[in-house]
Chains A and B, each alone.
Chain A
Amino acid sequence: MGIKKATMMAVAMAALVLTGMQPARADEFTQKDLELWQGQYEAAVKKGRQVFTDPGLGTNGVVCAQCHPNAANTHPETYPKFQKQLGKVATMAEMINFCIMNPLEGKPLALDDPRMIAIQAYITEERRGVPLAPGKH
């Protein structure tokens, strides 16, 4: 790259900064895509809140939010971690199924069950901003 060309690019970049424009990037996501994907995520969070408060998730009418208001004390940022009661490293999904099977007296959800995914979306959204701390006790 010649000096002249480099200077011209620097001037062009400066102009972009001055006018507040982002330099165009190759194959950038469109605003429409971003909105669609965000909408899909938010729908999963919303569904997760519904499942979290659904008396039909287990068999005894107990709901997740009864013990975990605002999903507090679910600490998704700490998974995977060693779960002493299971004697192995566990994921949050396994702990969700533990709760469904025990306090809720229900049947465990498949990992790809939309309700399982929605619960995780909701729980994690409630902890937005908390640093990841996998393995933490």
Chain B
Amino acid sequence: MNSLNRRDLLKGAGALLAGATLPVSLIEMAFADSSRNFTFAYISDSHIQQIKGNKFVRNWDRGLIRAVAEANLLNPRPDFIFYGGDIAQLGKKAEIDHGLEILSGLRDKVHYVMGEHDYYLDLGEYWRSQLGPDHYSFDHKGMHFVVLNSILTYDDWTHNRWASGEERMGVMAGLDDHRGSPFMVGARQREWLKKDLARVDVNTPVTIFSHSPLQKIFRNWNFWTEDAEQIQALLKPFRKVNVFYGHVHQIQYNQIGNISFHAAMATAWPWPYPQSNARAESYLPKLTVPMNRADPFFERDATGWQYIDINSGNATMHFSLPDNAPRTVAFNPATGRPEDVTYQEHRIPPQFHY
């Protein structure tokens, strides 16, 4: 599956989607022994939002419905699907239920990551009752996969500040709400991760899923994990590490030492890059060639999902953007970092954020 391409993957999709471009990001993991190569799909940040009763925000529903329909058209089938967090907008049972009902249309096994919008209403109680633990690990085709809950924060903020779960959720749901608090994995899970990784050979490729980036980009919007450096230190002994995250609603990628970072687009709406906020400093990885600014008149623009090929333990991310050229970000063995296969070297400056 070394030369997996979109045309092969989406064979059979054409008749159903005549003229439409698939907004996908698929992940292929390919190995020297190509029988170990595999792909998985990655859907994230649906933010299903209840209006009242059986009424939900149509725009966000449509993004997830489209992602599910398109993921079902992938050929060959992905080994599994990852959901990167934030099924719900305000953590309500109705929102999680409605999101899971849409996701139930997927034909493949789905692994879930907890997002802050799933958590801060009831501290994840309902999410866990439906989906199980918020941190776990498993092995697949010679790779070690770890899921972390990276959206926890200081106990004092979580337990002592708010009159109700609704109030706490409302504050954390506002990306730019200054009353929010930085995300973290926390000591308990770091201890668990240390033990979990202790039994993994350093030559085994390790893939981590978290909702927030396990790197520090922009604190004001929680494009940030407070204990990112401590997690990175635990991952340092391994030869190949991939970290996939949601939350940021945009293409981001980076390489820190042995760790490749990749962000997912959202199915709901895109976010501006942090540098478009004129009043604060941010640290978008220099490596990242940003997406174009979304067209507000085309509500699916700059949203979508991704499919991923794992090659020799390194990931290739495929993004398909409805209103722009498709993007592929692949690990370049020569430079030892993920790069956009088209735009990295001959960087076409992206649109300015106007």
Contact = CB atoms under 8 A, between A and B. Distances in A.
Given A66-B269, A69-B221, A126 B278 contact: yes
Contact of A129 (B50, B278, B280): B278
B176 interface: yes
Interface of A: 53, 59-62, 65-70, 72-73, 75, 78, 85, 95, 98-99, 102-103, 126-130, 133, 136-137
A85 B297 CA distance: 7
Contacts of A60: 49, 51, 55, 57-58
Contacts, number: 74
Contacts of B270: 67
17 contacts: A53-B174, A59-B51, A60-B51, A60-B57, A62-B57, A67-B269, A69-B176, A70-B280, A72-B272, A75-B353, A85-B296, A98-B297, A103-B59, A128-B278, A130-B278, A137-B351, A137-B354
A68 B278 contact: no
B293 A73 contact: yes
Contact of A65 (B49, B174, B293): B174
Contacts of A69: 175-176, 221, 271-272, 277
Contacts of B294: 73
B101 interface: no
A65 to B, nearest CB: 6
Tier of interface size on chain B: 20 to 34
A127 B278 contact: yes
A61 B277 contact: no
Interface string B271-312: 110101111100000000000011111010000000000000
Contacts of B220: 70
B20 to A, nearest CB: 20
Contact of A72 (B59, B177, B276): B276
Contacts of B280: 70
A66 B90 CA distance: 12
Nearest to A133: B354
Contacts of A61: 49-51, 57
A114 B191 CA distance: 53
Given A61-B57, A70-B220, 5 more contacts: A67-B271, A72-B274, A73-B294, A98-B297, A99-B296
